[in-house]
């Protein structure tokens, strides 16, 4: 797919929402065969993105207090 | 002189009492007596001390706020308002909440703040906001050392690791706690991507939980730009923060669950999407195929049918053959007839019928008497031979 660059930058919410919409368009059944094929490919791509995002995700925890202390330290020791 | 009806007078007295600011919201301490609890659900009683007595009522709608403390002879603090009951000509104390005396100042303060904030609409169900389904970031205000942050991290790791926790550590008890909690809420809602904030602490005594019953925390929750999920103490403890929060969670784990979708269910959902889109696409393909077959069938009707044409050719050939044969037959017959006609013309055949041919000696037929003279020799041919004779 040539638009994969755009799709990999989707958030999970965007990807799963688009996937849900795509499936609904397909199931509505008024797409031509060509459109249906395109929608199917799009859905496959989106599902792949969703699964990858889910399986690769690692919970990130930002501690504001530690961030704050780090910044203070940097101000005090600018050469770091 | 103006003369009023009793109703007009009663109305006037009622209006006077209702307009008095002190009587609109007042705390009174005294003893309960002559309590009656009719089936209507309202409570009627006399409220008295050594020198005075006032008629009092607590309507059914308020009985959740401590009606159980109304026992004949008990000392209680009542929060409510004073008005006039025209039907009986009585000034009454209308109780909104009842606290036992000696429940401690905290309870009284709690009840006071709760009824004040409720009157202001801070608990209004209509302002509760929905929690986002796929939050990019979840803000958390709680202690850095308690089990709460640990439970939330564990739950989110399992459920929805796509989100990011922005943790603002705060005291959750002691004098500093209310301001730190309120500041945490204010800071977190300004961080881009934070779509929901969990505020909480683990279980403890009423004093331990007190920070979550303070006005500054209540107002910070109320003013938050993003929805707030509260998880304070045990399920049985309800703090003011819980009343104001958009959603109250029983535990920190429940709070994390409320804020996120479940990864396993999401994976199932994605798979079912795949299955459904494959199905829908197959249906489209099948439909297209049957359409193609349909048109193919139709087109066949317009194609020249070679077998029919071939048969036609065969038919024609056969007919030609037949006519040719009958033509030949006819020709044969005709020829036969002609041959037999010819045979009747054959002079030999005439001889057979008894005629004779007379010729000269050199076989020239003699057609006329004029071509012969007396004495000439003629030849006469009969069917079985000839002879010569002399003309006399």
Report the topology of domain B6-103.
Answer: OB fold (Dihydrolipoamide Acetyltransferase, E2P) (2.40.50)
Per-residue confidence band for A67, with pLDDT thresholds at 50, 70 and 90: confident
Which chain B residue has its CA at the smallest distance from A31's CA? B284
Per-residue pLDDT tens over the stretch A1-19: 444 444 458 889 999 999 9
ipTM of the complex as predicted: 0.76
The secondary structure of chain A in percent helix, strand, coil, rounded to multiples of 5, reads 75, 5, 20
Per CB-CB distance under 8 Å, the chain A contacts of B180 are none
Instruction: Tally A–B CB contacts below 8 A.
Output: 97
Strands (DSSP E) along chain B, which ranges?
A: 26-36, 43-48, 53-58, 75-85, 90-100, 137-142, 164-169, 194-201, 228-232, 247-248, 357-359, 377-382, 385-390
Which chain B residue has its CA at the smallest distance from A23's CA? B277
pTM of the model: 0.59
Interval A54-67 mean pLDDT: 86
d(CA B318, CA B324): 10
Q: Are B30 and B76 in contact (CB under 8 A)?
A: yes
Per CB-CB distance under 8 Å, the chain B contacts of A54 are 162, 263, 266-267, 270
Question: Measured between CB atoms, does B280 come within 8 Å of chain A?
Answer: yes
Q: What pLDDT is recorded for position B362?
A: 83
10-residue mean pLDDT profile of chain B (392 residues): values are 92 93 91 92 93 94 88 89 93 92 70 88 93 95 91 94 94 93 95 95 85 95 96 85 95 94 92 88 83 84 78 86 87 83 72 82 83 85 86 84
Q: Where are the domains of chain B?
A: 6-103, 130-261, 348-390
Lowest mean pLDDT, pick from A26-35, A56-65, B142-151: A26-35
CB contact under 8 A, B266 and A60: no
Task: Give A40 or B226, the one with higher predicted confidence.
Answer: B226
Per-residue pLDDT tens over the stretch B246-263: 999 999 999 999 999 999
d(CA A35, CA B342): 92
d(CA B210, CA B41): 32
Within 10 angstroms of residue A56's Cβ, the number of other Cβ atoms is 9
Question: Measured between CB atoms, does B158 come within 8 Å of chain A?
Answer: no
Per CB-CB distance under 8 Å, the chain A contacts of B287 are 33
Beta strand pairing call for B357-359 and B377-382: antiparallel
Phi, psi for B165 (deg, rounded to 5): -90, 130
Sign of CA dihedral B61, B67, B72, B76: negative
Distance from CA of B259 to the nearest CA of A (A): 14
CA angle (B327 as vertex; B325, B330 as ends), nearest 5: 110
Per-residue pLDDT tens over the stretch B344-366: 777 777 777 788 888 888 888 88
The DSSP letter of residue B49 is: -
Q: What pLDDT is recorded for position A1?
A: 43
CB contact under 8 A, A40 and B277: yes
Which chain A residue has its CA at the smallest distance from B170's CA? A65
Interval A74-78 mean pLDDT: 75
Question: Measured between CB atoms, does B268 come within 8 Å of chain A?
Answer: no
Domain B130-261: top CATH class: alpha beta
Q: Which of B161, B187, B271 sits opposite A58 (nearest CB)?
A: B161
């Amino acid at each position: 797919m040539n638009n994969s660059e755009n799709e990999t930058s989707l958030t999970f919410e965007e990807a799963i929402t688009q996937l849900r919409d795509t499936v609904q368009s397909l199931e509505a059944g008024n797409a031509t065969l060509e459109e249906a094929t395109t929608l199917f490919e799009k859905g496959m791509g989106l599902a792949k993105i969703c699964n990858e995002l889910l399986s690769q995700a690692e919970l990130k925890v930002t501690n504001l207090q530690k961030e704050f202390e780090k910044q203070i330290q940097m101000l005090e020791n600018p050469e770091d | 002189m103006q003369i009023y009806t009793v109703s007009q007078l009663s109305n006037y007295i009622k209006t006077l009492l209702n307009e008095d600011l002190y009587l609109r919201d007042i705390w009174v301490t005294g003893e309960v007596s002559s309590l009656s609890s009719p089936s209507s659900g309202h409570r009627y009683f006399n409220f008295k001390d050594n020198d005075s007595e006032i008629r009092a009522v607590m309507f059914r709608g308020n009985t959740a706020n401590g009606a159980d403390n109304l026992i004949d002879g008990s000392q209680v603090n009542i929060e409510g308002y004073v008005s006039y009951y025209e039907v009986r000509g009585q000034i009454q104390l209308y109780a909104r909440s009842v606290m036992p005396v000696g429940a401690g100042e905290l309870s009284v303060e709690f009840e006071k703040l709760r009824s004040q904030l409720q009157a202001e609409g801070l608990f209004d169900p209509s302002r509760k906001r929905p929690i986002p389904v796929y939050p990019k970031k979840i803000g958390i205000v709680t202690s850095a050392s308690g089990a709460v942050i640990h439970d939330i991290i564990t739950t989110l790791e399992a459920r929805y690791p796509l989100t990011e926790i922005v943790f603002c550590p705060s005291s959750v008890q002691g004098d500093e706690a209310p301001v730190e909690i309120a500041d945490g809420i204010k800071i977190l809602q300004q961080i881009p991507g934070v779509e929901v904030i969990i505020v909480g602490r683990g279980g403890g005594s009423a004093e331990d939980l007190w920070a979550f019953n303070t006005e500054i925390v209540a107002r910070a929750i109320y003013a938050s730009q993003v929805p707030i999920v509260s998880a304070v103490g045990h399920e049985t403890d309800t703090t003011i923060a819980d009343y104001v929060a958009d959603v109250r969670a029983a535990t920190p784990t429940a709070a994390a669950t409320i804020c996120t979708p479940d990864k396993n269910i999401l994976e199932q959902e994605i798979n079912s999407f795949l299955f459904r889109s494959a199905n829908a696409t197959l249906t489209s393909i099948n439909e297209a195929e049957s359409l193609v077959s349909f048109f193919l069938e139709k087109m066949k009707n317009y194609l020249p049918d070679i077998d029919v044409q071939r048969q036609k050719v065969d038919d024609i050939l056969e007919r030609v053959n037949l006519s040719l044969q009958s033509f030949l037959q006819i020709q044969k017959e005709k020829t036969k007839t002609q041959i037999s006609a010819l045979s009747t013309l054959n002079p030999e055949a005439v001889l057979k019928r008894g005629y004779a041919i007379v010729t000269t000696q050199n076989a020239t037929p003699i057609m006329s008497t004029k071509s012969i003279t007396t004495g000439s020799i003629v030849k006469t041919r009969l069917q079985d031979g000839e002879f010569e004779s002399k003309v006399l």
